[in-house]
Amino acid sequence: MRGELCVGFASVLSFVALLLLIFVHVGQINTSTVPRGIAMAKVNMSGYGQALAAAFNPDPINDLYTSNASAPIGVQAGLRQIYEFGLYSHCAYVNKTAGRCSNTTVANKFLPYDAVISDMAMNYSQATDIILKGTTFHNSGYLGTQSKAAYYLILLGSICTALALFTGVIKRTVAFFISSSLAVLGSFLLLVGAALWTVMIKKTEAVNDKTVTLGQSAIPIIMVSAGPGLFLTWAAFACLAVSIVPYMLSCCTFRG
Ligand SMILES: *[C@@H]1O[C@H](CO)[C@@H](O)[C@H](O)[C@H]1NC(C)=O
Ligand SMILES: *[C@@H]1O[C@H](CO)[C@@H](O)[C@H](O)[C@H]1NC(C)=O
Ligand SMILES: *[C@@H]1O[C@H](CO)[C@@H](O)[C@H](O)[C@H]1NC(C)=O
Ligand SMILES: *[C@@H]1O[C@H](CO)[C@@H](O)[C@H](O)[C@H]1NC(C)=O
């Protein structure tokens, strides 16, 4: 009986972990309510027009942003206010709800600089290159490699989570041994994947310190922050890691 209770508890934990990971995977694949709300990282470009205005002073900045939510992205059709990055694509929003997403690709790279540059007119992208040179935000080589690696770790971690859940349902001591091994492996992969994303975002956030002074106040030109997807990944890791204990106990105590 105790064994059944243990494996039930472990199954609930790995089920929750799997559910959280499914949410992480659908983040930013389109702009409907749930995917829209989930991103690994967010970039707020609202203050950027003022930064350029200061750089180009006294020339005015015209048509940097577009307010057309359905304008295609990546073809210099105008900068958007908010960019959100998921595991398979990124979306650009003109306001809180209206935006457009890139095509989905497996192992989509986290390239905030490329995303914003490809939306703004050529003369602004040259100035942007100068303004952002030397920041991690601008370092697409580093961000590309890290985010690609993190994607595969999270994908494999998700597969381990699903397999741990399914093998845990088979009432055999050997199955519980496989479940606990998969839970150990899966939590390790999720831990490293989430850690890579956390480090990437922390380093990219350094760009938040770049400000432009307007009158009395300093306005950040770009605001980078972690999105709910990162927290969900950490939560999935925590659930799966905790499930290791009851899976291992089931392994020892279940006599089915
Ligand atoms: C983006 O930043 C601006 C200020 O620069 C702020 O007013 C706005 O609420 C931010 N948008 C989001 C979605 O965080
Ligand atoms: C917005 O962009 C779409 C796609 O390019 C275009 O068809 C539409 O006419 C644009 N709307 C406005 C108001 O410019
Ligand atoms: C966002 O923009 C879209 C298209 O421009 C518009 O239809 C919608 O009302 C806006 N939503 C908000 C909350 O401003
Ligand atoms: C996105 O996919 C559509 C349809 O498959 C294609 O026509 C378009 O060229 C793609 N865009 C990019 C940027 O790859």
Give per-residue pLDDT as tens, 12-71: 999 999 999 999 999 999 889 899 999 999 999 998 988 888 777 788 888 899 999 999
pLDDT at 255: 60
- Domain 2-253 CATH class label: mainly alpha
Q: What's the 214 CA to ligand 4 centre distance in angstroms?
A: 40
Tell me the backbone φ, ψ of residue 71, rounded to 5 degrees: -60, 140
Q: pTM for the full model?
A: 0.92
Question: From CA 218, how far away is CA 50, in angstroms rounded?
Answer: 11
- Which pLDDT belongs to residue 203? 96
| Residue 86 φ/ψ region, left for φ over 0, alpha for ψ in the -120 to 50 degree band, beta for the rest | beta
Please report, for the chain, the start and end positions of each structural domain, with discontinuous segments joined by +.
2-253
Among 45, 46, 210, the mutation site with the greatest number of ligand 1 atoms within 8 A of its Cβ is 46
Tens digit of each residue's pLDDT (9 = 90 or more) over 210-241: 887 777 777 888 999 999 999 999 999 999 99
CA of 161 relative to ligand 3 center, distance in Å: 39
Which run of H or E residues covers position 24?
helix 2-26
Phi-psi region at 192: left, alpha or beta (left = phi > 0; alpha = psi -120 to 50)? alpha
For ligand 4, say whether the CB of 114 is within 6 Å of any of its atoms.
no
pLDDT at 201: 97
Q: If you search the block for the tokens 């030109």, which residue do you land on?
A: 221
Name residue, tokens 């492996």.
185
253 or 1, which is more confident: 253
- Atom index in ligand 3 nearest the CA of residue 67 equals 5
pLDDT tens-place string over residues 110-155: 999 999 999 998 888 888 898 899 999 999 999 999 999 999 999 9
